[in-house]
Every structure is written in C-alpha cells, then in structure tokens.
Structure 1
Amino acid sequence: MPPLDRPPLALGLALAPGYTHHARGEDVPLWTAPVASPAFLLAMKRLAATMRAAGYLHFHVGTLGMRPIWWPARCVASPAELAALQADLDRLVAADAAAAQDDAARRAGLAAEVAAADRAAAEAALPRLAALVAASSWQLGRALPEAAALVRDGITDSFSVGRALALIRNADGVRERAEIALRRLPPEGWLRLAESADVRAAALEGCRYLSDLDEDRASRSNDAGWGQDDTSIGHLLAEREELSREETAHAARLLHHHRRQLPAELRSRLFDTVPGPATAPVL
C-alpha cells in the first residue's frame, strides 16, 4: 500500500505539514495541530492502538509543547482498518454527545428542583419576614426597606427568592449574637444595682423608651436611641416581658451610657434609688 500524503481522518484537527522532527538521527516530517480537539482526545483515550496504527500521536513537539501529531511514516493501517476506525470513532462521538446531553438534562432537572424548593421556602418564609418588619425591625437594620418591599411585592424571581431567605438568615444571626452577648457575666457593680425589683422594672422601661427613639436603628449619629454597638442588645431587652437580674445589669450599663436621653424621673429610678455600682461613673 503506497504511503498516504495527508491525514486519513479529520478528527476536528487543524493539522498542517511543515514540522521536521529529529528522531534517531533522522529528520522526520510531521503534521501538527495547535490544539487537540475533543474527538481526537476521545479517540486517543478509547482507541489508542488503532489511532497509533493510523499514525496519530499526542506528545511534546520541540518548543511547541503538547501537540496532536500525524506521523505519515507510522501510518500502517489499511483502508479497511481506517474505515473501521472512522466508524468506531463516529459511534464514540455520538455516544459521548448523547451522554453529555443526558447529563446536561439531569443537571437542569436538579437545578429546577432546587430552584422550586427555594422558591417554596421563600414564599413560606414571607410571613416570618413580615413579622420581622412589623415587630422586630431592629433585626433587619439597614435592610428594613428592602425587606418591607419584599413583603409588599412578594416573591417575583430567583433574586427575590435568595434575598428573602438571606434577610431572614441574617436577622436570625443578629438576634443570636445579641442573645450570646446577654449571656456574658456583667460586672459585679451592675449586678448589685440589679438586685432591686424597682430597678429591674425601670431598666425594662428605659430599654423600651430608647428603642422607641431608635427609628434609624443606629444607622445615623443623631443622639437618638441606641448606638451602633448596643442597638441589637437594647432592642432585644426591650422585647422581654421582664428582665432577670443579669439582664438588668446589662441593661443598666447600656442605659447609663445613654442616660442623658432618659427622662429625669426614669433616670432617678434607675440610678438614685439604691447605691450605684462601683464601676459606674458619677452622674
């Protein structure tokens, strides 16, 4: 069989002659392609022996790097063998394409299921978000306008799904961090002040008073309501039905910092009815 003068299989490669390979003291002309095609890589993986018999290789070419190669002198396959190789390759490519299509359809189905589940969860969570907007807006902070718009407009697209769930998750995080802060032991001086039932009642009243003033949820420096460092704890305390001794100690410490905003009568009930804590500054 006379040697072939061009590659017998296309394989999606831009093969071109002109490269001379030096092997065992001989100059061997090769055809090279700059990039390996999917069909070529699939054939080299699944039909390696017959591809080599057809003269196809994949190796580093001088300074060019890894390249697909057709080596004319190594093409020893007969026309029948080349035809069989092409048929085998066509079947492999078709099967690979079908598998990729099936995988894409499976992934799309899973994505649709996840999206539907997320949308259902977001819609089910809207009443919770509405409750936060209405009664615990401090947990939403600067995101309150966005949350209120979501409650008003409902779930309309994938973005609103993600935002509704994220807003609730973030709000829960704000409350949890405030609860953790309240579990820290307050200084002994504030605990002594909190022994009085009258002080405990006044502390709760003071927390509610400052929380009512805190319309901006400490987003602006305006000497009205809580500060950025204590707004979450202050609002959380204001929601309590009554304050424990430890909670009162935390409340008294925060209220003392904001005491100038409190009515004089409330300030007196908090800090004048019993000896003040050793750690508190002089009023």
Structure 2
Amino acid sequence: MLSLALLILTAAGVVLPILAAAVAASRGASEPAVPVPTPLGAAIPLSALGLTWRRLRDVRTGRGPRVLWLGEGDSTRYSRAFRLAKAPLYDAGYSWGTVERSGGAVQPVCWEDPAQGDAVAVDAIAAAEASLAEDDRRLALEEQRRRQAEALDAELNGDARRGDLEALRQSLRLKAWAWSKRKREVAEALLREPDGANGAPKAATAKLARDLVAEVEAAIEAVRVRVAKDPARDWLARAEDPDVRMAVHYAVKLLTDMDRDMASLDNGVGWGRSHTHAGHVLASLPELSVIEATNALAAVWRHRKQLRPEVRARVFGSEQA
C-alpha cells in the first residue's frame, strides 16, 4: 500500500501541475511554467573515485538550492584525487564534511548545484581521473628508477654489506659475553632481515650491523684501557714473569668458562659482578701484557678458591694460596 501511495503522489507531482496549466489556458490565463521534479537518479556520477554516492537531501543555502550527496566506501582514492585535482572537483561541489551521525568524522560530500547541469560533475570526475592516471605513471616511473638504482647499488656494494653481516655473526659467536641482551636482540633481528636487490643486504641493515659491532668493540677497548690505567701494584713483580702471565691467562679462561651467567646469579661460580666484564675481556685476548696480567692476578685472587691447587700453584706460587 505504501508503494502505491508513493506512486500516486509522485504521479500527482508531475500530472497536477500540467492539468492546472491546461485549465488556466482554457480560462484564458497565461500558462505558468511547469516545474520539473528533481530526479531520483543523479546529476552526479553515482559511482566515482572509488566511492558510491548516496543522495541525502535538498538544502537551501546562501548560494542557492543544493543537493547534498554522501560518498560511501574507502575514501583513499577520493582523497588522492582531491589533492591532485582540487579546483575542478571543488567547483563541481565536491569537498569534505561531517554529516549523518559521523561522530565528527570528515567524509566525502558533494553539494550539487542543479542549475549547473550534469556536465560540470562529469567533467570534474574526468579531470580527476586523468590526474590520477598521470600520477600513477609518475609513481610507476619513480618505482622503476628506484629499483634500477637499488640493483646498481647492490652490484657495487653487495660484497661489502655481506661482510658487515658476517662480521656481526662472528662477533655474536666469539664475543657473546660483550653483547648486552638488548644489543643481541637487535643483532639477531638484523640477521633475519630479508635481503634487498640481487640478494644483497639492504644498506640500512648493513650500516646498523657495522654500528653494533663498532659499539661492542669500543666497549671492549674501554675495559682494556681501564684495566691498563689501574694496575694492582702488589702483583706487578709477579706479572713480569712470562710463565706467570701464561698461567694467569689460563686461570682467567677457566673462570670465564664457568661464568656462563655473566654473574647474573649469586651462585659463587665464575666471576663476581665486579669482575665479570673485565674477566671476559682478558680471557678473549691472545696473550696478556704485564699490566693486563697484573689486573688478571688481582681478579683471579678474589676467585682463586674455584681453581684446582696445581693451577693456584702456577699462578700464585703455592697450592695454599
């Protein structure tokens, strides 16, 4: 019944004015202009710029009557088109606004001016699509150039970057004691990074690998410098004996092998917290200088009870040390 009533009202909206004009003419009155009802279809393209346009209502504005349309769907393409061809779209009534319970969110809208006719909206959409196509060509060309540049860069620098990643692997393997948990996690994530062009590591990945290795080496060197600047004088004379230096180096390595937890547990095994970093650094050296052996003797003395009597005898001159 409701549909039938709407049909009758719609027909009346068209037929009655015509009948009224005919009656007026038969009575000798001047014929009034017959109003044409606003179509339920569209003067704007109903599907344009990735959106579906839905007619909301007729609005009387300070610039005259307008028909308000709402663009529904993913507005990504519309946003890009509006940036590239704002002038023609804006002239045709396209813009952004808050309507229909949007919660304040800005949505694509069109304030259609019925007096402009269909051509304005159609031409604006055509201009926007042309701008999008041109921008697509530009982006494709930029991507092509970027890939070519990456390929050339990988050819020129790929071996050096592979070397940076290999140096990182070696440092993690051979100097694990010098890597903090945070640095280790970053390094392991880097080693899982997919390669770039031509199977070469990406430039950013290689640079970060170099930086991490450099930081770890700097930390190791800082310990060596600190050890060299603070010799324990009580052990200096003994450290001048080459056999003692070899013996204490061996003792340092034994304690370091036991120090798997890097003194994180108070278990009396391996180095204590005050010596763990220096102990690992000294153990990693190919040999000890007199100053380094002096500090090694002082550190081992604090942990000598973990060593076998014969090792203590070689290091300190007595099994009862």
Q: TM-score range by the shorter chain?
A: 0.5 to 0.7
Q: Encode CA deviations 1:197-244: one digit per residue, 9 max, x unaligned.
A: 556642442123341575576249897765676455334334254423
Distance change >3 Å, CA 257–CA 265, structure 1 → 2:
same
Give the SS at the match of 1:233: helix
Helix, strand or coil at the partner of 1:45: helix
- CA offset at residue 6 of structure 1? 0.8
Relative contact order, higher structure (CA 8 A, sep 6+): 1
Alignment match, 1:259: 304
Which one of 77, 80, 89 corresponds to residue 128 of structure 2? Answer: 89
What is the CA distance between 1:255 and its match in structure 2?
0.6
Match of 1:195 among 223, 227, 236: 236
List gaps (5 residues or longer) in structure 1.
144-154, 274-281
Matched, 1:176 2:218: yes
SS at match of 1:194: helix
* Alignment length (residue pairs): 255
State the match for 2:29 in structure 1.
Answer: none
Report how far residue 30 of structure 1 moved. 1.7
Whether the 8 Å CA contact 2:165–2:209 is kept in 1: the answer is: no
Kindly report which structure 2 residues correspond to 1:156-171, keeping only aligned pairs within 5 A, or say none.
158=195
Residue of structure 1 in register with 2:51 after alignment: 13
Deviation at 1:261, TM superposition (A): 3.6
Q: CA deviation at 1:97?
A: 1.3
Distance of 1:105 and 1:198 partners within structure 2:
65
Opposite residue 181 of structure 1, the aligned amino acid is V
In 2: Cα distance, 1:196 partner to 1:229 partner: 24
Please list, as runs of the form range in 1=range in 2, the aligned pairs for 1:1-283 lying within 5 A after superposition.
Answer: 5-9=41-45, 10-19=48-57, 23=61, 29-35=67-73, 37-61=75-99, 63-64=101-102, 65-72=105-112, 74-78=113-117, 81-82=120-121, 84-110=123-149, 112=151, 119-124=158-163, 138-141=174-177, 158=195, 173-184=215-226, 191-198=232-239, 201=242, 202-211=244-253, 214-215=256-257, 218-219=260-261, 230=275, 232-238=277-283, 239-245=285-291, 247-264=292-309, 267-268=312-313, 270-271=315-316
- Pair member with larger Rg: 2
Residues 21 and 250 (structure 1), Cα distance of their counterparts in 2 relative to 1, 3 Å cut: farther
Tell me, yes or no, if the aligned pair for 1:118 and 1:161 is still in contact at 8 Å: no
Q: 1:266 to 1:128 in 2, by over 3 A?
A: same
Q: Report if the CA contact (8 A) 2:249-2:288 is conserved.
A: no
Per-residue CA deviation, residues 94-142 of structure 1 (Å, 9 max, x unaligned), is: 1011122223334444555666677523543587579769xxx641359
CA contact (8 A) 1:57 1:70 kept: yes
What is the Cα-based RMSD across aligned positions, in Å? 4.8
Provide the TM-score with structure 2 as the length reference: 0.57
Equivalent in the alignment of 1:146: none
Cα distance in 2 for residues equivalent to 1:269 and 1:211:
14
Whether contact under 8 Å (1:53, 1:75) holds in the other structure is no
Contact 1:33 1:68 in 2 (8 A): yes
2 CA distance for matches of 1:101 and 1:58?
29
CA distance in 2, matches of 1:116, 1:173: 28
Q: Could you tell me how far apart the structure 1 residues matched to 2:240 and 2:304 are?
A: 14
Q: What SS is found at the alignment partner of 1:30?
A: strand
Counterparts of 1:130 and 1:50, CA distance in 2? 58
